[in-house]
Structure 1
C-alpha cells in the first residue's frame, strides 16, 4: 500500500509539473521591458504585448524573425510536453492503482519505472532550456543599454517550478523500491515456508 501511495504521489507531482509547464508556455511575460512612465512591453513564446494601463497583444507571425532564444525555447518546451504526454500514458499503465497488465508484476513495475524516467528527462529538459533562456537574456541585458534591454519575467519561474515538479514526480515513479511488487515477495515467502518444516507431513 505504501508503494502504491508513493506512485500516486509521484504521478500527481508530475501532473502538476506538466500543468505548470503548459501554463508557462502560454504566458506572455517571459521577458519584459519598461519604457517611460508605465509603458510596458512583454515578450512571450507565442505573442508580444505592449501598452500602459491597457495592453494590446500580437501573435508572432514569422518564425524566422524571432530571436534565437525564443525559437530554441519554444521547440524544447514543445518536445518536453510531448515527452510528458507519453510519460503520462506509460506511467498510467504501470501504476499499481490501475488494472492494466494485471498478473504481470515485473512488467508493470518496469513500465512505471520507464514512465518515471521519461518524466525526469522531460523535467530536466524544461529546466535546462529555461536556464539557457535566462542566461541569454542576462547576457543581452549587460551588452545593450539598460533602457533598451529586456529582463526575464514571471513565466521563467513558473517554467522552473514545472520542471522541478516533473522531475520530482518522475523520481518517485522510477524508484525500484517503490515499484517492487508485493506479489513477488509473497510468492517467495510462500516458497520458503515448506522448507522451514520439511518433516511436518510425516508421522
Structure 2
C-alpha cells in the first residue's frame, strides 16, 4: 500500500493545529475564571464624594463601609446636590425663608451663631450664605444641604432620614460632637465628611 507523503504532512498539521486550539481554550477558560471577579470589583460604585451619586450609608455603617448583601438595610443610593447648588436654585422643596430655628435645635455649643442681631433665627438661605466666617467648619452649610436633598428625594431613607439629619445637628449643637455608636463620636469636620462622601450633601 502506497502512503502519500502529502497526507502525512496534512495529518500532522491538523493535529498540531487542534492541539494549539485545545491549549488556547484551556488558557482562556483559566483566565475566564478570574475575569468575573475583576469585573465585579471594577463595577462597584465609587465611595468618594466625586459627584454623580453612589452608594450611601447610615452613620454607623459608614464606619466600616461594608457593602455585602447582608447590609442592604444599612445603605442605599444617594444623589444629593451640593449646598452651593441650593444657594442659587429655584426648585427648593421648602421655602428658602424657613427659619433655621426651631427646625434645627439651638445649643450651648453653637450659641447664637445662627441668629440675627435682633434675636430672630436666620433663614435656611441665610445659613447657606454664611460661608466660613459665620459657620467655620461648614457643618450648618452641609446640614441644610442634606436636609434639602432628603426632602427632594435625592437621599435614600435607608441611609439618612429628615429626622436623622436634624438629630445629628441637635447633638452637635449641644456639645460639638455627634455620637455615632458608643465610644465613637464625630466632630464637625467628621460630620461634614460623612455628608459629603456619602453623596448626601456633596
TM interval, shorter chain, is under 0.3
Greater Rg over alpha carbons, structure: 2
Compare relative contact order (CA 8 Å, sep 6+) and give the higher one, 1 or 2. 1
Give the TM-score normalised by the residue count of structure 1. 0.25
Between Structure 1 and Structure 2, the one with more helix by share is 1
TM-score for the superposition, normalised by structure 2:
0.26
